[in-house]
Amino acid sequence: MQTLIPDLSKEVREALEAGRPVVALESTIISHGMPYPQNVETARKVEQTIRDEGATPATIAVLGGRMKAGLSDDELEYLGKAGQKVTKASRRDLPVLIARGMDGATTVTTTMMIAHRAGIKIFATGGIGGVHRGAETTMDISADLEELAHTPVMVICAGAKSILDLGLTLEYLETKGVPVLGYGTEELPAFYTRKSGFAVDYRVDTPEDLAAIFRAQRELGIEGGMLVTNPIPEEYSMNPDVINRAIDQAVAEANQQGIHGKAITPFLLARIKDLTGGDSLDSNIQLVLNNARLAARVAKAL
């Protein structure tokens, strides 16, 4: 059986062939996570941040039915302007998009899948998906958690999105054997804020230690990836009471309007931005840049 290999940009291909550090980036954050033009501006800043740290960025997407690792400036602009018209592509969507020659913005799940196929080991994102509030009745659990259990990629994030049930998300990851590491912290960060009240598995304080732990996981032949939670910088952390009130209101509105499935996260993020007067978007941008810096340093150490 032939295995499809992603199309690599010249920059990404040369870096991988030379054994230089490469960091994968998702594209759903561009099309579904932020409004235009902040989404494209942020994507460019994130890529430049990784280059400034001495690594190569590989933004991942599906365009014209082709898996791509490394996008041109025009392709970033296209995804930003098209926004939610582009399919939010999770694992179940890939066969359809490829067979039909369609476009897809990759989630954490599909970014991990395509990065692994391309030979990229480190991936920086904003926050992972997880177990949604009320999942004990809705069974709304992100495919990101299953992908972390099976695909050998290190995911560096600011914790699970605080619109989720963080306790159940950690329980799910524990069941699947996914190590949850806190960079400079013993407490799970909650995306917009540095603390959640939940403990991570281990605290790690240097990129070199993270690289060594990931290398040991690979040498042991343990299936699956690794989750590194990197708290948002103190100066951009939001007041927990303010953000939690906004989240509770947004969740209630989503329930009233019957919004669920793929549409729930973009709806909640947009409503939270409105309810916080744009503060949540500013925090979102800063935490992504912070994760990109750490990912580049880990990729170099690895």
Catalytic (active site) residue 26: yes
CATH number at residue 286: 3.40.1790.10
pLDDT tens for each residue of 223-238 = 999 999 999 999 998 8
Q: What is the pTM of this model?
A: 0.91
Do residues 117 and 62 make contact, with C-beta atoms less than 8 angstroms apart?
Answer: no
Q: Do 7 and 86 fall within a single domain? A: yes
End-of-domain residue from the set 96, 120, 144: 120
Q: Do 208 and 286 fall within a single domain? A: yes
What residues make up the domain containing 263? Answer: 129-302
Q: Do 156 and 299 fall within a single domain? A: yes
Among 26, 53, 75, 77, the active-site one is 26
* Per-residue confidence band for 1, with pLDDT thresholds at 50, 70 and 90: very low
Q: Do 95 and 135 fall within a single domain? A: no
Among 68, 88, 121, 161, the active-site one is 161
pLDDT tens for each residue of 64-91 = 999 999 999 999 999 999 999 999 999 9
For residues 134 and 107, what is the distance between their CA atoms, to the nearest angstrom? 22
Q: Do 139 and 188 fall within a single domain? A: yes
End-of-domain residue from the set 89, 120, 151: 120
End-of-domain residue from the set 72, 95, 120: 120
pLDDT tens for each residue of 26-56 = 999 999 888 899 999 999 999 999 999 999 9
Instruction: Report, as an integer, the average pLDDT of 81-109.
Output: 96
Q: Do 283 and 196 fall within a single domain? A: yes
Q: Do 89 and 171 fall within a single domain? A: no
Counting every residue written for the chain, the total comes to: 302
Helix and strand numbers (H, E) in the chain are 13, 11
Query: pLDDT at position 2, please?
Result: 55
Catalytic (active site) residue 161: yes
Q: Do 72 and 7 fall within a single domain? A: yes
Structural domain total, the chain? 2
Query: pLDDT at position 89, please?
Result: 96
Q: Do 33 and 136 fall within a single domain? A: no
